[in-house]
Amino acid sequence: MVRRLDAVYEGLKVGYRLFNYYGNEKGCSAGLKRDIDEGIVKREKFHPYNVQLRLVEYAHSLGIAVTVYSSFGPLGFHELNMKKALNMQPLFMHPPITTLVASHACMPSQIVLHWATQRSIAVIPKSDTVRMMRDNMCNVEVHLSEEEMQEIGEHDRGLRFNEPADQTWYKITHLVRSP
């Protein structure tokens, strides 16, 4: 942990302001104890199956901007045949999302993205086509009530789909490299 904090401090001295290591409030606090005063960004996996609202609120309370990726949950991991992702219903087909799509007359991606941006979270959405990019950008035209926001968040399962330790290739690589 000390080595990581030293690396954070060195990064701050040269102007780096994005730290991905801190996964909870304790780690976030430890990373902020040394001369960190402004311009910090926390990047995290965040989607309706992995809400992490407590961490997001804590980061915001410290003035840390939160940027998220993997916003569409298991969607991008189906093609990799990841068991964890294959066992989950795709978010775009999840009943709370489909209900909101119908009532707001928009795309599922817009509901999922706006659910995050309405919480003052910057989102890095995955998109493969110009049309997807346009649809994603139009999420700002959607407004969700607090009740709708909570309804989406109630399906939190704490699932992270791209954890390297869950993957066979990661385990084999690190087993081979172990001293």
User: Which residue type sits at 97?
Assistant: I
Per-domain residue ranges of the chain: 70-176
Specify the fold of 70-176: TIM Barrel (3.20.20)
Q: What's residue 4's pLDDT?
A: 52
* In contact, 68 and 121? CB cutoff 8 Å: yes
Q: What is the three-class DSSP state of 138?
A: helix
Burial 53-69 (b: 16+ CB within 10 A, else e): eebbebbeeeebbbbbb
* Signed CA dihedral, 164, 168, 172, 173: sign only: negative
Closest CA to 72 of 111, 23, 22, 129: 111
Q: Enter the tokens of residue 82.
A: 């990841």
User: Mean pLDDT by 10-residue block, N- to C-terminus, for the chain (179 residues)?
Assistant: 55 54 53 51 69 83 78 66 73 90 93 90 82 84 92 80 52 42
State residue 176's pLDDT score.
43
